Structure 1
Amino acid sequence: MLVTLILQGITMITVEKSDPFSSESHRLIEMLSVELAAITGDNGKSNFTVEAMSDDKALWALAKNSHGKAIGCGAIRPLTQNIAELKRMFSDRSVSGIGGALLTFLEKSAKEMGYRELRLGTRHMNYRAVNFYEKNGYIRIENYGPYIGRTEAVCFSKPLR
């Protein structure tokens, strides 16, 4: 599957399944880690490894601009048979709509893979992420998995219809 965002007749963003071990993926993961550390004091690497993307029910995606440069990334990985977790969402914000294009791609892909729900965790102080997910129909839920008992964390869920 491929998602392409076209604005005013110009292809701006293309999102597709990609190799999480590629140099482009590594560059974006590192950019995300630096940004998370600056916002929250934690780079977020403790709850994600690229090796987890080798699972058949996992997916790594890259968003690319009209010149083919990787400008965003995101992943889904299994939590249960019916629930996937959204991980490592990142946009370099070089063009508008990267996050939305990635999220659309990952939600459609998760549904096609048989998932019925997406979940994610972030931190309360990551206001940009919290606002983004709420704007895109995610609702706050009780903290799950590694986020249980962590007062700085906030978790979200969205049914896939």
Structure 2
Amino acid sequence: MMSGIARMVRVEPCDPRDPDAICVMERLSGALVTLTGDGGTSSFDPAEVLLPRAQFVVARDAQGAVIGCGAYRPLEGDVAEIKRMYAEQRCGGVILAHLEAAALADGYRAASLSTRRVNVRAVSFYARHGYSEIAPYGRYADRPQSICLGKCLSP
């Protein structure tokens, strides 16, 4: 059964250079700066989600206003990396479900991501959606302030 918010939210692919995408990512960066002191822009290159087997999405409310975003990109082999997740109006689960389904359709079998440990809201959100702590990877390997999470994707 679909929740009320899920019926009212439309998640759709979007070019990350589109003005709507830029605006929502600026709101995300502002929220992250307030919470962590870092807007997270250094770990996201919009060109990386314009590649095959990658996607950037925006979430729109019933009136068409952008209320969230998210992306995935190739990490390694059959693992996608979730990036730039942001949700207003409690639509994060809808965005994440869309990204996971699209990544699965693109041939990925797992998803990984990193967030700051201090962002306990994000860490608990991902835990509620089946993500658990994994070994730090890539640029996060020597960053104790980061936590890496992963999940096997299934149809």
Same fold (TM over 0.5): yes
Match of 2:15 among 13, 16, 19: 19
Mapping 1:1-161, distance limit 5 Å: 7=4, 11-91=7-87, 93=88, 95-96=89-90, 98-161=91-154
Matched pairs, number: 153
User: Contact 1:74/1:87 (CA < 8 Å) preserved in 2?
Assistant: yes
User: Contact 2:134/2:148 (CA < 8 Å) preserved in 1?
Assistant: yes
1:97-126 deviation line (CA, Å, top 9, x unaligned): x10000000000000000000000001000
Q: Provide TM-score, normalisation by structure 2.
A: 0.94
Kindly indicate which of the two structures has a greater share of residues assigned to strand.
Answer: 1
1:67-124 deviation line (CA, Å, top 9, x unaligned): 1111100000001130100000001x2x33x100000000000000000000000010
CA shift at 1:6, angstroms?
A: 5.5
Which amino acid in structure 2 is aligned with residue 48 of structure 1? F
Q: Superposition RMSD on alpha carbons, in Å?
A: 1.5
CA shift at 1:57, angstroms?
A: 1.4
Uncovered stretches (5+) of structure 1, i.e. residues with no partner:
none
Aligned-pair identity (%): 39
Distance in 2 of aligned mates of 1:131 and 1:11: 24
Distance in 1 of aligned mates of 2:57 and 2:44: 15
CA shift at 1:11, angstroms?
A: 3.7
Uncovered stretches (5+) of structure 2, i.e. residues with no partner:
none
Q: Structure 1 6/135 Cα, relative in aligned 2: closer, same or farther at 3 Å?
A: closer
> Secondary structure of the equivalent of 1:84?
strand
Distance in 2 of aligned mates of 1:134 and 1:11: 23
User: Contact 1:29/1:88 (CA < 8 Å) preserved in 2?
Assistant: yes
Distance in 2 of aligned mates of 1:159 and 1:142: 15
User: Contact 1:6/1:13 (CA < 8 Å) preserved in 2?
Assistant: no
CA shift at 1:20, angstroms?
A: 1.1
Which amino acid in structure 2 is aligned with residue 148 of structure 1? A
